[in-house]
């Protein structure tokens, strides 16, 4: 009886040791920012989804030094010279404009970042409130646009945060 039990335990250990680790599926989308409003603003935006969370990273260049707002807007349309074709902030849950993670805020209220003396800035945000192509109208960033603004978001003024003109735009599409 002991021999059978030991063989069974050894077989169980051997089988457990042979299992392969399940890899997490990574969904990534990298897109280029287009200059708008007669600026030279550019850069890249990356959305990476892994384990139910989306990490957003924007690396922006050609800005005036200082603080700038960045938001997700409701339409994947950057065709107008001033990017107003992208519509207003993406707000599928009908909340007031505000600061991400504090009180009420739009799903598109990413926030502010600082451009250095050379006009370069970067911002990163990770959230489980977004997805890439999942089809949930309250979470899916596909079919929207990223807008970089001329100034800072005050997180108070409704519905936009008084962030000024739109200096860069990109449609969030595959």
DSSP reduced 3-state for 87: coil
| Kind plus residue range of the DSSP H or E element containing 7 | helix 2-18
| Superfamily covering domain 26-172 | Superoxide dismutase, copper/zinc binding domain (2.60.40.200)
Number of residues in the chain: 174
Q: What is the mean pLDDT of residues 148-155?
A: 97
DSSP reduced 3-state for 96: coil
Q: Is the pLDDT reported for residue 18 higher than 50?
A: no
Confidence of residue 162 (pLDDT cuts 50, 70, 90): very high
Q: Is the pLDDT reported for residue 1 higher than 90?
A: no
User: The pTM is what?
Assistant: 0.85
Confidence of residue 19 (pLDDT cuts 50, 70, 90): very low
DSSP letter (8 states) at residue 23: P
Q: Is the pLDDT reported for residue 146 higher than 60?
A: yes
| pLDDT at residue 25, rounded to an integer | 82
Residue 160: both structure tokens together: 């936009």
Q: Please list the residues that pair with 53 across neighbouring strands.
A: 50
* 111 or 5, greater pLDDT: 111
Instruction: Give the C-alpha separation, 143 to 140, whole Å.
Output: 8
Look at residues 85, 83, 84, 45 and name the one whose alpha carbon lies nearest to residue 61: 45
End-to-end CA distance of the chain: 62
Q: What is the pLDDT of residues 67-95, one digit of tens each?
A: 999 999 999 999 999 999 999 999 999 99
Q: Is the pLDDT reported for residue 160 higher than 80?
A: yes
| pLDDT at residue 2, rounded to an integer | 46
Q: Which residue has the tokens 């999942």?
A: 134
| pLDDT at residue 17, rounded to an integer | 45
Q: Please list the residues that pair with 72 across neighbouring strands.
A: 146
Answer for the pair 115, 66: CB distance below 8 angstroms, yes or no: yes
**How do beta strands 26-35 and 166-172 pair?**
antiparallel
């Amino acid at each position: 009886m002991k021999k059978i039990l030991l063989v069974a335990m050894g077989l169980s250990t051997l089988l457990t040791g042979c299992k392969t680790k399940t890899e997490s599926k990574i969904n990534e989308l990298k897109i280029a920012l287009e200059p708008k409003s007669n600026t030279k603003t550019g850069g890249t935006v990356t959305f990476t989804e892994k384990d139910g969370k989306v990490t957003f990273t924007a690396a922006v260049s050609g800005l005036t030094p200082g603080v700038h707002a960045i938001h997700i807007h409701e339409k994947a349309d950057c065709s107008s010279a001033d990017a107003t074709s992208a519509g207003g902030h993406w707000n599928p849950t009908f909340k007031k404009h505000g600061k991400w993670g504090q009180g009420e805020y739009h799903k598109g209220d990413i926030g502010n970042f600082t451009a250095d003396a050379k006009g370069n800035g970067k911002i990163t945000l990770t959230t489980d409130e977004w997805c890439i192509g999942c089809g949930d109208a309250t979470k899916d960033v596909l079919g929207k646009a990223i807008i970089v603004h001329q100034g800072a978001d005050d997180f108070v003024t409704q519905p936009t945060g008084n962030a000024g003109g739109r200096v860069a735009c990109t449609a969030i599409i595959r």
